[in-house]
């Protein structure tokens, strides 16, 4: 519309004076341009062709939703982030609870241990709420729903919480609690049963007797109450290789179902080990009363006295035995953590295989 050096639309410079002058369009030209301007541009609407998606350009979110919708039999790509979380999350929950329930925190502060367990259960509840939301999206056929990793995480977290708590308590009761009990008590060495009295070593957890100390099996007895509670006094040998008669038999070797009720037959602990001169203190209070009854029975049967009897498990090296409790507890924890990681990895691999085959219907 502008030529000859025009500086504004609708003006044209005069070829003689070079002064701009307005262009006056004819009525026919104005009508033609007006009708053309009122027409819709050619790219504003595209007719639908056979097999085309309606409104593909005008509503792109529809095509994106369709591309995300699950088609039965279609294999889906699996996001790597949920896979890593599904492996490490439950495994970390199991490991933390396993440690909390197994070791010194359980022994020193049981209330804090229970609080950490409750916090772990809140994590399980939170994952359950998220899983319920995912299932709700599935019920509404929401195309944005991903494969049910949230449901898997909820179940895996619940299993991890239960396993960590139960296995941890079992390791604690079997290994670590006895270890902490013995470590809180005192250790005595070169104890002569003919000299020391029971009330002098009330805080004893581990005792190593003199090398001439041994069991007086002939004065053993068993008290039967469903189980047979066996006791034998710890005495001292003399120069003739016989056993001395003590004024008070305050140190007793004990065991369960390892003797006859009639007496004189004791095969508990390291009874036949000539190098055994030590003992671990009996820590189970519910059995102590039955062993006292057995000692009273021995006093009546053999005419001996036991002023303040203490009960021990007869063995060669009680110090090494206590250390073995700790070693077994730590070994059980390490094996449990590694084993659970392998189990969790296998479970996630199975879930990945299932989700990749069935997609959102999983």
Indicate whether 20 pLDDT > 90. no
pLDDT value of position 142: 55
Question: Which one is predicted more confidently, 53 or 219?
Answer: 219
pLDDT value of position 189: 95
Worst-scoring range by mean pLDDT, 72-76, 102-106, 112-116?
72-76
d(CA 351, CA 86): 10
Banded model confidence at residue 71, pLDDT cuts 50, 70, 90: very low
d(CA 20, CA 9): 11
Rounded to a whole number, what is the distance in angstroms from the first to the last CA of the chain?
66
- Do residues 141 and 117 make contact, with C-beta atoms less than 8 angstroms apart? no
pLDDT value of position 285: 83
pLDDT value of position 359: 53
Mean pLDDT of 265-283: 94
pLDDT value of position 307: 94
Mean pLDDT of 283-312: 94
Sequence-distant (6+) residues with CB within 8 A of 171 are 98, 101, 102, 329, 332, 333, 336
Task: Characterize 172-197 residue by residue with b for buried, 16 or more Cβ atoms within 10 angstroms of its Cβ, and e for exposed.
Answer: beebbbbbbebeebebbeebebbebe
pLDDT value of position 249: 96
d(CA 198, CA 282): 14
d(CA 56, CA 92): 47
d(CA 228, CA 221): 10
Mean pLDDT of 70-87: 70
Give pLDDT tens digits for 112-155. Answer: 999 999 999 999 999 999 888 877 766 566 555 555 788 889 99
Give pLDDT tens digits for 336-353. Answer: 999 999 999 999 999 888
pLDDT value of position 264: 84
Indicate whether 65 pLDDT > 50. no
Indicate whether 48 pLDDT > 60. no
| CA atoms 174, 176, 179, 183: torsion sign | negative
pLDDT value of position 270: 94
pLDDT above 70: percentage of residues in the chain: 73
Task: Characterize 251-264 residue by residue with b for buried, 16 or more Cβ atoms within 10 angstroms of its Cβ, and e for exposed.
Answer: bbbbbeebbeeebe
pLDDT value of position 238: 79
- Which range in 106-120, 254-268, 274-288 is most confidently predicted, on average pLDDT? 106-120
Question: Which one is predicted more confidently, 44 or 294?
Answer: 294
Banded model confidence at residue 76, pLDDT cuts 50, 70, 90: low
Mean pLDDT of 267-273: 93
Indicate whether 24 pLDDT > 70. no
pLDDT value of position 19: 52
Question: How many CA atoms, within 13 angstroms, populate the side-chain half-sphere of residue 300?
Answer: 9
Worst-scoring range by mean pLDDT, 158-162, 196-200, 263-267?
263-267
pLDDT value of position 70: 43
């Amino acid at each position: 519309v502008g030529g000859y050096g025009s500086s504004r639309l609708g003006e044209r410079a005069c070829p003689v004076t070079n002064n701009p002058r307005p262009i006056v369009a004819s009525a026919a030209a104005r009508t033609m341009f007006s009708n053309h301007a009122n027409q819709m541009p050619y790219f504003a609407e595209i007719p639908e062709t056979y097999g085309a998606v309606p409104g593909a350009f005008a509503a792109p979110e529809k095509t994106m939703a369709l591309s995300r919708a699950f088609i039965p039999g279609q294999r889906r790509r699996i996001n790597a982030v949920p896979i890593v979380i599904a492996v490490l999350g439950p495994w970390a929950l199991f490991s933390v609870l396993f440690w909390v329930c197994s070791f010194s925190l359980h022994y020193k502060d049981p209330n804090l241990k229970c609080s950490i367990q409750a916090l772990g259960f809140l994590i399980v509840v939170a994952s359950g709420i998220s899983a319920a939301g995912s299932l709700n999206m599935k019920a509404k056929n929401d195309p944005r729903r991903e494969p049910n990793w949230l449901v898997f995480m909820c179940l895996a977290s619940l299993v991890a919480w239960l396993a960590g708590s139960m296995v941890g308590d079992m390791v604690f009761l079997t290994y670590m609690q006895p270890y902490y009990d013995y470590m809180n008590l005192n250790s005595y060495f070169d104890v002569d049963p003919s000299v020391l009295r029971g009330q002098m070593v009330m805080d004893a957890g581990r005792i190593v007797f003199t090398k001439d100390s041994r069991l007086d099996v002939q004065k053993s007895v068993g008290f039967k109450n469903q189980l047979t509670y066996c006791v034998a006094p710890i005495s001292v040998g003399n120069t003739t290789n016989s056993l001395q008669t003590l004024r008070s038999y305050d140190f007793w070797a004990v065991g369960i179902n390892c003797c006859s009720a009639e007496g004189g037959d004791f095969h508990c602990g390291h009874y036949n080990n000539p190098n055994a001169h030590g003992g671990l203190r009996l820590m189970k209070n519910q059995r102590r009363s039955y062993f006292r009854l057995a000692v009273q029975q021995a006093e009546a049967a053999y005419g001996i006295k036991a002023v303040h009897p203490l009960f021990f498990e007869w063995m060669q090296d009680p110090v090494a035995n206590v250390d073995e409790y700790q070693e077994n507890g730590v070994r059980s924890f390490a094996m449990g953590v590694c084993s659970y990681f392998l189990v969790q990895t296998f479970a996630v691999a199975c879930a990945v295989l299932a989700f990749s085959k069935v997609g959102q219907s999983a």
